[in-house]
Amino acid sequence: MNEYNQPLFIASDPICIPHAFTKKQDIEIAGFFAAIFSWGNRTTIIAKSKELMHLMHNTPHDFCLHHTDEDLKKLLHFKHRTFNATDLLYFIEFFKFHYSQHESLETAFTKSMKKKDIDTENALNGFYDYFFSLPDVPKRTLKHIASPQKNSGCKRINMYLRWMVRKDKRGVDFGIWNQIKPSQLIIPLDLHVARVAGKFNLIQRKKFDWLTAVELTQTLKSWDDKDPVKYDFALFALGVLEKF
């Protein structure tokens, strides 16, 4: 696990995008885009994320709050797989709306959490509803944000929460959010992680959905109930590199 939970891992992973920033809000926004773009080839994910940050003048927080119409016109040709300019403009509109009222994106997730929540299910469902609460949401954009209420595994959002919430001294995850506990995080479940987990009998379910992500997280909690998602590094690496 420690082979990948270290700074040398950062350069080849989408988490390198928020690591290019020091301002908290820039880290949050850059990390969010990098996480949402994270399907497919990692080299392409990183390249497209860097392209977007360049279009946002490498100041994503300031850009979202203070962009001009001319700034937005420069985004109209941006595309990453099925994510296009329509989606991008809505994301920016949401960030302008949210950051005009809040210091951190963390509140967008915690506003729907309950004191007795053992995981982030309410946080993710609430975030989905809040994210798409603005007028005239493009229907096509709905597919880019997953939620447990749709029984999605929520891999990319869970990965983003891992980046923002987990705290250790390894230098990969940021740990800049304090209202969500590492013990509440759910493992970012994708094909690679599920394949490894199945091979080692860590899960019984065969689907890549929310219930399977919860099942795997519960198993990992038997090893470390305060930081179960730290095992994401080992599971992901074993799956991608097929070291088993």
**How do residues 109-143 score in pLDDT, each as one tens digit?**
999 999 999 999 999 999 999 999 999 999 999 99
pLDDT at 239: 63
* pLDDT level of residue 32 (50, 70, 90 thresholds): very high
DSSP symbols for 192-232: HHHHHHHHTTS----S-BHHHHHHHHHHHHTT-SS-GGGGH
Give the residue among 112, 139, 116 at the shortest CA–CA distance from 128. Answer: 112
Q: How far apart are CA 244 and CA 236, in angstroms?
A: 12
Whether the CB-CB separation of 222 and 214 falls below 8 Å is answered with: no
DSSP 139: G
C-beta of residue 182 within 8 angstroms of C-beta of residue 167:
yes
pLDDT digits (tens, 9 = 90+) for 38-81: 988 999 999 999 999 999 999 999 999 999 999 999 999 999 99
pTM of the model: 0.94
Average pLDDT, the chain: 93
Name 83's bridge partners: 80
Q: What is the pLDDT of residue 241?
A: 61
Which pair of structure tokens corresponds to residue 211?
């219930």
With H, G, I as helix, E, B as strand and everything else as coil, classify residue 105: coil
Count Cα neighbours of 65 within 13 Å in the Cβ-side half-sphere.
Answer: 13
List of residues 6+ apart from 223 with CB closer than 8 A: 231
SS3 string, 46-95, reads HHHHHHHHHHCCCCHHHHHHHCCHHHHHCCCCCCECCECHHHHHHHHHHH
Residue 152, classed as helix, strand or coil, is strand
Q: Which residues contact 136 (CB under 8 A, 6 or more apart)?
A: none
Output the pLDDT for position 171: 87
